[in-house]
Amino acid sequence: MEIVLLQIRSSGQITLPASIRRQANLEAGDTIAVTVENDGSIRLTPKLIIDRAQAYFWSRQWQEGEQEAQDDIENGRVHRFDNLEDALQFLDTNKT
């Protein structure tokens, strides 16, 4: 593990060297969570910010549905239709 020394500027800013940004796959504008540990050490963790309008997709319930759909696709439990009428007829005759 590489140790890099950084200097804190009077404004409180630090600069992550390009080599560190490349290793952590960080780009300008990325978000980092800062955690101060009990011993005073500081941990930086890259975080993705999810738009509130997209948050539903990452809910446990939605992700379980996505996994179920993926399992159906992988196991051939799908139906393909040439037109909308055939699809609607299939749905009408296979109601649960």
Tens-digit pLDDT profile for residues 38-95: 999 999 999 988 889 999 998 999 999 999 999 999 999 999 999 999 999 999 998 7
Using CA atoms, how far residue 33 sits from 16, 43, 64, 90, in Å, is 14, 8, 27, 49
Query: Angle CA(42)–CA(46)–CA(50) in degrees, nearest 5?
Result: 135
Angstrom distance (rounded) from CA 88 to CA 91: 5
Angstrom distance (rounded) from CA 55 to CA 68: 19
Whole-structure pTM value: 0.53
Q: Is the pLDDT of residue 15 over 90?
A: yes
Domain locations along the chain = 1-49, 52-93
DSSP 3-state assignment of 4? coil
Query: Which CATH number does the domain 1-49 belong to among 2.10.260.10, 3.30.420.40, 3.40.50.720, 1.10.3720.10?
Result: 2.10.260.10
